[in-house]
Structure 1
Amino acid sequence: MIKLQHVSKTFRVGKNKIEALKDVSLEVNKGEIFGVIGFSGAGKSTLIRCINLLERPTSGQVFVEDQDVLKLSKKGLQQLRRKIGMIFQGYNLLETANVYDNVATPLKLEGVPKDEIKARTEKYLEIVGLTDRKNAFPSQLSGGQKQRVAIARALAHEPEVLLSDEATSALDPNTTDAILELLLKVNKELGITVFLITHELNVIQRICDRVAVMENGQVVEQGSVVEVFTQPKEAMTKQFISNESKFLIPERLKHELLESGKLVKLTFLGESSKDPVLATLAKQFDVLPSIIAGGIDQLKDQSVGNLLVHIKGDRTKVETAIQFLHDQDILVEEVQS
């Protein structure tokens, strides 16, 4: 659906050269929600704007539905952009137009027939839940409602791809959740591929199928959300995804626990979370497991459980018990002193 191959983008500011993107390659499958996460300045916004050529790459190739975007004529690019909707953090609404006209006006400028404009505008205002606010002006709307108008406006062009540029970063947590649910609905019911960028981990967790992590203009890691979330490899990924903050315990207590047994971090995926493995350890291996800390994270399609467990007992039995955990499709990481 979307393929970027060795894309680089260099800006010149006076005599300085800024490499915003460096040899970025990734592929987005039709019908999925693909997320890109990174801190400010990582190159996320430049990357998403290269897809519809709001920014033209310095080098590399961009394909949308097998079309080489960089080789399109001006007319061809205009036609392609109609298939690509985009929503922004700042909404970009017309303050002097009401909700209905904010959605309808771009269609009028495209020359869409009047009856079709009315049908589309009403359809997508209903989908985003704003039919009863169609006569309101942006100044009368909450941030979440403004973003819903922006989504309806993008959908009214009936695109095949929806690009989301930090669309939830200005919203409070409850409103963010509502917008994410709306994006899930758009993806599932309308079959629209969603490509989003964010610095918010919960956005990736909640709705994305796959994710790429960016740092200093480069993609440092990518894969399924479950894979990257449970087994982060790169330091930058671990800053976003690591469970370390859930397992912060005083150094003195940590030392005491390591003196009397083993500390292990356990990650449970899907069905493995339903098995009473700690009870099995105590009964089958004659060891004493104790939960020190833990929590559950909800991803798009499954939950991930995390536990910090102290296992006390005969050294050989403890080692055998830990091997048993490995054999149960549980991710096991031993904590070192």
Structure 2
Amino acid sequence: MIAIHHVSKTFVTGKTKIQALDDVTLTINKGEVFGVIGYSGAGKSTLIRCINLLERPTSGSIFVDGTDLLKLKHKKLRQMRRKIGMIFQGYNLLETANVYDNIAIPLKLEGVPKQVIRTRAEKYLEVVGLQDRMHAFPGQLSGGQKQRVAIARALAHEPEVLLSDEATSALDPNTTESILELLLKVNKELGITVFLITHEMNVIQRICDRVAVMEKGRIVEQGPVLDIFARPEKALTRQFVRNESRFRIPAPLLQELKSTGKLVHLTFIGESAKDPALATLARRFDVLPSIIAGGIDQLKQESIGNLLVHLKGNPDQIREATNYLKAEQIIVEEVAD
């Protein structure tokens, strides 16, 4: 559906060069929700703007449905862009136009017939749950409602791809959840491929099928969300997955725990979460497990449990106990610091 091949982007300001993207290669499959996560300055916004050529790459290729956008003339490019809708963090609504006109005006500029505009506006306002706010102005709407209008406006062009540029980062948690539910609905019921960028891991875990992690303009890790959550390989990815207060331990306590046993991070997926594995350790191996912290994360199609556990006992028994946990399909990682 979307193929990004060796894309780089360099910004030049005077004598200064900034490498925003560095040899990025990604493939986004038709019908999936693909997320890119990274800290500020990682290159996420530049990447998403390259997909519809709001930013032109310095080098590389962008293919949509097999067509290289960088080789298209202006007219053909404008036609291809109609397949790619986009929503922004700042909504980008016309404050002097009501909800209906915010959707209708871009369609009028494309030459869409008046009756078709009416039909589409009504249809997609119903999809986003704002059919009763058609004549309201942006100043009369909440942040979540404004974002819903922006989504309806993008859908009214009937795109095949919807790009989401930090669309939930300015919203409160409850509103964020409602917008994520809407994006899932758009993906599932309308069959629209969704490509989003975010710095919020909860957005990735909630709706994405696959994820790529960006740092300094490069993709450092990518794969199915479950794999990335369960087995993060890179230090940056582990920061996103486990950078939570529930897993932070004061240094003095951490050293004390490590001096009296082994501190391990356990990840439970699917069937492994149903067995009383920790209770078995005390009976079978004479190892005393103490849960220090933990929780359950709900991914799009699976739940994943994480526990920080202190294992107290002699080293040989602890080694046998951790081997047992691994045999039970529990992911075991020793906490080094």
Flag whether TM exceeds 0.5 (same fold): yes
Q: How many equivalent residue pairs?
A: 337
Equivalent residue number for residue 13 of structure 2? 13
Could you tell me how far apart the structure 2 residues matched to 1:149 and 1:100 are? 9
Percent of aligned pairs with the same residue?
73
Could you tell me how far apart the structure 1 residues matched to 2:137 and 2:258 are? 62
AA aligned to 1:313 is G
Query: What aligned pairs does 1:236-251 form with structure 2 within 5 A after superposition?
Result: 236-243=236-243, 245-251=245-251
Query: What aligned pairs does 1:46-195 form with structure 2 within 5 A after superposition?
Result: 46-195=46-195
Could you tell me how far apart the structure 2 residues matched to 1:6 and 1:122 are? 41
Q: CA deviation at 1:314?
A: 4.0
Q: CA deviation at 1:256?
A: 3.5
Q: CA deviation at 1:285?
A: 2.7
AA aligned to 1:6 is H
Could you tell me how far apart the structure 2 residues matched to 1:239 and 1:256 are? 23
Equivalent residue number for residue 229 of structure 2? 229
Could you tell me how far apart the structure 1 residues matched to 2:262 and 2:11 are? 52
Could you tell me how far apart the structure 2 residues matched to 1:217 and 1:336 are? 29
**Contiguous gaps of at least 5 residues in structure 1:** none
C-alpha change, 1:8 and 1:252, in structure 2 (3 Å) is closer
Equivalent residue number for residue 259 of structure 1? 259
Equivalent residue number for residue 309 of structure 2? 309
Query: What aligned pairs does 1:315-326 form with structure 2 within 5 A after superposition?
Result: 315-326=315-326
Q: CA deviation at 1:221?
A: 1.2
Q: CA deviation at 1:244?
A: 6.5
Q: CA deviation at 1:243?
A: 4.9
Q: CA deviation at 1:26?
A: 0.6
Question: Are residues 1:196 and 2:179 paired?
Answer: no
The farther-off stretch of 274-283 and 77-86 is 274-283
Query: What aligned pairs does 1:202-221 form with structure 2 within 5 A after superposition?
Result: 202-221=202-221
Could you tell me how far apart the structure 1 residues matched to 2:37 and 2:310 are? 33
Q: What's the Cα RMSD here?
A: 1.5
| Cα deviation 1:250-308 (Å, max 9, x = unaligned) | 44433343333322110111221111111222233333222121111221111211111
Could you tell me how far apart the structure 2 residues matched to 1:154 and 1:247 are? 40
Could you tell me how far apart the structure 2 residues matched to 1:54 and 1:251 are? 47
Q: CA deviation at 1:245?
A: 4.1
